[in-house]
Amino acid sequence: AQSVTQPDIHITVSEGASLELRCNYSYGATPYLFWYVQSPGQGLQLLLKYFSGDTLVQGIKGFEAEFKRSQSSFNLRKPSVHWSDAAEYFCAVASFSGGYNKLIFGAGTRLAVHP
Amino acid sequence: EAQVTQNPRYLITVTGKKLTVTCSQNMNHEYMSWYRQDPGLGLRQIYYSMNVEVTDKGDVPEGYKVSRKEKRNFPLILESPSPNQTSLYFCASSHIAGGRYNEQFFGPGTRLTVL
């Protein structure tokens, strides 16, 4: 069965430090992968997505993610974190089971940013 | 503006009192879906609909009902809410195109508390 694992429940970084959030997926075919962000009290915002092609994907707000098929990973990175990046981040994989769009989400990683 | 709307945004109710959370989209999407978000579990799909009068269970359908009488609306019904249905609920919609993923658009979320 398809699944997504985010090994880190909470991460704390200092403002200006680099960030890497881990995501591992289990999916039989070529996956469609996503990162979403949920700021406190807000809905879900799509940060970036990978469908095919270049394995390094650029997203909004200065985020990027790298697809590594050999490691079944799609880690999210940012070179310099801002206080406004404090939020919960979800990795997801799209499943085409039954011909429809189903997103399978990881449990999320809550990011805290220290000044 | 293309959007998915949900109402109410916040709701506190008591055990056993029937409630409906509405979801509406203005993008003429065929596919609509409900997810619930719980700490440590990410988002899990409750029900989905491929088109008018076509609905099916997701991963956690127990205690919920849906209907799809019009293409734009997909209400979530809790006939007899229980405290374990306290959660954050998201509605999502997308087009359906065979063989490929279509981006899902999410509503702002409905925070439900069942006492």
What is the CA angle A36-B76-B71, rounded to 5? 85
For position A99, what pLDDT does the model report? 58
Number of cross-chain residue pairs from A and B with Cβ atoms under 8 Å apart: 56
Query: Which residues of chain B lie closer than 8 angstroms to A32, CB-CB?
Result: 101
For position B59, what pLDDT does the model report? 92
Q: What is the 3-state secondary structure (H, E, C) of A78-101?
A: ECCCCHHHCEEEEEEEEECHHHCC
Q: Percent of chain B, pLDDT > 70? A: 98
Instruction: Supply A42's token pair.
Output: 């807000």
Indicate yes or no: CB of B41 within 8 angstroms of CB of A44: no
Query: Which residues of chain A lie closer than 8 angstroms to B51, CB-CB?
Result: none
Give pLDDT tens digits for A31-85.
899 999 998 888 899 999 998 888 999 999 999 999 999 999 999 999 999 999 9
Mean pLDDT of B26-41: 94
Q: Is the pLDDT of residue B2 over 90?
A: no
Indicate yes or no: CB of A99 within 8 angstroms of CB of B96: yes
For position A40, what pLDDT does the model report? 83
For position A41, what pLDDT does the model report? 80
Q: Is the pLDDT of residue A28 over 80?
A: no
A46 close contact with B: CB closer than 8 A: yes
Confidence of residue A97 (pLDDT cuts 50, 70, 90): low
Test the A interface: residue of B49, B101, B104, B111 with most A CBs within 10 Å: B101
Strands A87-95 and A73-78: unpaired
Q: Is the pLDDT of residue B99 over 70?
A: no
Check residues A22 and A42 and name the one with the higher pLDDT: A22
